[in-house]
Structures are given as C-alpha cells and as structure tokens.
Amino acid sequence: MRKFKLLALALVFGVFGMYASNAIGEPNAPTKEIRNEIIKLLKTPDFVVEKDMTVILKFTFSSEGEIVVLCPGCEDKEIVKYIRKNLNYKKFKNPGERDKIYTIPLTLKAA
C-alpha cells in the first residue's frame, strides 16, 4: 500500500510538472496583420544603421486599441527612441488582445 501511495504521488507531480512547463512556453507571437502594421509604421529610419541587427520588440495593447511598447529590445538609444516615437500609442485597426504581451523580432538592415 505504501508503494502505491508513493507511485500515485509521483504521478501527480509528473502531471502537474508537465502542465506547468507548458504554461511557460513561447511568448505570444502577433498575427501577420499586426506585424504588417508595425512594419508600415516603422518605415525607413531617419538615421544610418551601420550593421544588420535584430531587435526583439515586446509590446501590448491598451483598452483603446493602441500599441504600448514595453521593451524595444535594444541598447542603442537612437533606435529605442525611433521605435517608441513611431509605435507607442498608435491606434491599430485590428489590435491584439488587451494586456497580452507580444514579442516580435525586427531586423534593421545596414544602409
């Protein structure tokens, strides 16, 4: 009987561990429509990009459907300022879920 209880307890821990690891998973990827709107808003930067770089942008949407940039994902202050100026609090036609954190990789190409 003692071995049965130990086996049942191990099974419970295994099941809960499996569900807990699934909840952490990948951050939410935005839809193609949201990605296209972000690309359209960022356009061509008004500064020179010296080398190709990828920036991981984290953002969410407000209750009014505006994008809120949480973390531009870059150390370069000029790029951070550019991303925030062109994206922060811009209205989207079809925003994502409110208060859900999205991540998107943005690639800046060298000129």
Number of structural domains, the chain? 1
Note whether residue 62 is domain-resident: yes
Provide mean pLDDT across the span 86-103.
89
Q: How would residue 76 be classed by pLDDT, with cut points 50, 70 and 90? A: confident
* CA separation for the pair 10, 30 (Å, rounded): 38
d(CA 67, CA 81): 15
**pLDDT 10s digits, 52-73:** 888 899 999 999 999 999 988 8
Neighbouring C-beta atoms of residue 79, cutoff 10 Å:
19
pTM beyond 0.75: the answer is no
Q: Which residues constitute the domain of residue 86?
A: 32-108
For 3-49, what is each residue's pLDDT tens digit? Answer: 656 555 455 555 555 555 444 445 566 788 888 999 899 887 777 88
Residue where the block lists tokens 């500064």: 47
Q: Is residue 91 a part of any domain in this protein? A: yes
Does residue 41 sit within a domain? yes
Is residue 57 situated within a structural domain?
A: yes
Cα gap 48→35, rounded to integer Å: 23
